[in-house]
Amino acid sequence: MADIEDYDEYSVRRCFSVLIELLTILGEYRDNLVLVGGWVAKLTLEGAGEQHIGTTDVDLAVDFHNIPNTTYETIVRLLLERGYRQDDNQPYKFFRKLDDDMEVEVDFLAGEYGGTGRSRRHQKVQDLRARKARAGDLVFDDFIKLTIKGELPNGAENEVSLKVAGIVPFLAMKGMAIWDRYDEKDSYDICYTIRNYPGGLYEFAGVLKPHLGNRLVLEGLQKIRAKFKEIDGLGPAAYADFLLATDSGERQLLIRDAYERVNSLLDELGVEPYEEVTD
């Protein structure tokens, strides 16, 4: 079970150093890489009163439409030369072992629509494979540009620019994730984003509403609704579990808060729970 203790300050800081290193190594390709996953909320809602716990891995979406095959093959070589290890069984995964023996996982993701057919789990260009992520296509059109500064694993400081997924595709991808897997961190990221969006819940609803015509955005939100539609459902319980709420009273408060906030947002948007179509 994933919980808040897995995301201690030291581990998150070391992961951030790998992110800085990655963007330094792959500087030539930065325009075609978008940061997704847990770092999105941490970096884009940085001014929130409640600090996001961070993450201990790095997820990068790759824009296969715009990276030329002739140059793409160098990515694997660059990573391997800098000490990254490619997973033999899941080739979209790389690991960076640090001098304290901590390993940071780096996943390369791709949108579903482009390259190989949807039934294939991986996009492949030259030697790099990327796992297809539902709603991943959205991030290439909806992102923000940031500049971040930090230490590389060797202690050197560097400043890098990057693209970070916009909050709408981030939430849509989290909806796909919470539907397909059981990871308490997904519930935490969803609830944190809704709790801390600048301007509050109705401001956030106003940002999301124009995107409801996109079927992937709608599907992601419907899947969130399905997991949070009941107060004793998986979504609210996973949020409390992630925060290690052992006291009964505290746990019930967290569960109710998650349930009410998520459903208030989705009520405002008129989003119904997702129902899987079966043949």
Domain spans, the chain: 4-165, 168-269
Query: Across the chain, what does the average pLDDT equal?
Result: 92
pLDDT of 118: 47
Angle (deg, nearest 10), helices 234-242 and 248-269: 130
Name the residue type at position 271.
V
Residue 180: partners with Cβ closer than 8 Å, 6 or more residues away: none
Tens digits of per-residue pLDDT, 97-145?
Answer: 999 999 999 999 988 875 444 444 455 544 456 788 999 999 999 999 9
- pLDDT digits over 163-174, tens only? 999 999 999 999
Q: Which of 45, 93, 86 is nearest to 197 (CA)?
A: 45
| Residue 199, pLDDT above cutoff 80 | yes
pLDDT of residue 131: 85
What pTM was computed for the model?
Answer: 0.93
Which is more confidently placed, 122 or 85? 85
Cβ distance 152 to 158 under 8 Å?
yes
Is the pLDDT higher at 267 or at 127? Answer: 267
Top-confidence residue, 178 or 125? 178
Six-digit token string for 66: 């715009």
Q: Enter the tokens of residue 257.
A: 């808060």
- Give the integer Cα–Cα distance in Å for 52 and 190: 11
C-alpha span between 89 and 252 (Å, rounded): 41
Q: How far is CA 94 from the centre of its chain?
A: 16
pLDDT of residue 75: 85
Q: Which amino acid is at 98?
A: L
Whether the pLDDT of residue 70 is over 90: the answer is: no
Position 195 scores a pLDDT of: 96
